[in-house]
Structure 1
Amino acid sequence: MSDSNGRKDLRMPDDGEVFAVVTNMLGANRVQVRCMDGTERTARIPGRMQKRIWIREDDVVLVEPWDWQDEKADVVWRYEKQDADQLRREGHIRQ
């Protein structure tokens, strides 16, 4: 699913989802993230992702902030390094 100049169609945020960069690993399946809406949040890695996807500091992820507690969120997607670079080039993520 890439075109002639190497651009891939990437998963974009749905309603209520925000791009975020992992800033700190907290342990117990939790990470600290800096969201692109300007909020620092504690994000939870759901069980379906824990064993299949390794999340490290500086990874770009999609998070879904909790309705009832805005400083917390769930990680819903992790981007590969080249996909994250593409998002930065296209201006979706600022460092």
Structure 2
Amino acid sequence: MGETLSKPQPKDVPVPESKTQVICVVSQLIGANYVRALCVDDQVRVLRIPGKFRKKVWIAPLDVVLAELWAEVSDRGDIVYKYSKDERKKLIEYGYLDPGLIERAGGTV
């Protein structure tokens, strides 16, 4: 009764809550606090590392991040969360992240 057929929500793992949020895999560090990332919708986007992450969270190639897209431009956005390796496994398990995306970005699962 009242069951839904949507994807199960992983506990304590942030997932995209709106259509302006997307999960991406960092493919290249551009410089000046910007990265190039391949997103789950197969688009390459340029993401900005906000000031609160610059010195506290190290962003490297093949990291999985949650990005908030800019309203004006759809191919740019801000990084709002960096997933750990355990969280990455949960995203794959629950179907939010395709392991092939990490391989296409240049790495292995």
Query: TM-score, normalised on structure 2?
Result: 0.76
Which residue, out of 48, 55, 68, partners 1:51? Answer: 55
1:93 paired with 2:91, answer no
Task: Name 2:46's counterpart in structure 1.
Answer: 42
Q: CA RMSD in A?
A: 1.3
| Structure 1 SS opposite 2:38 | strand
| Greater share of helix | 2
1:11 paired with 2:14, answer yes
Which one has the largest radius of gyration?
2
1:62 paired with 2:48, answer no
1:73 paired with 2:77, answer yes
| Structure 2 SS opposite 1:70 | coil
Query: TM-score, normalised on structure 1?
Result: 0.86
Structure 2 runs not aligned, ≥5 long: 1-9, 102-109
**Number of matched residues?**
89
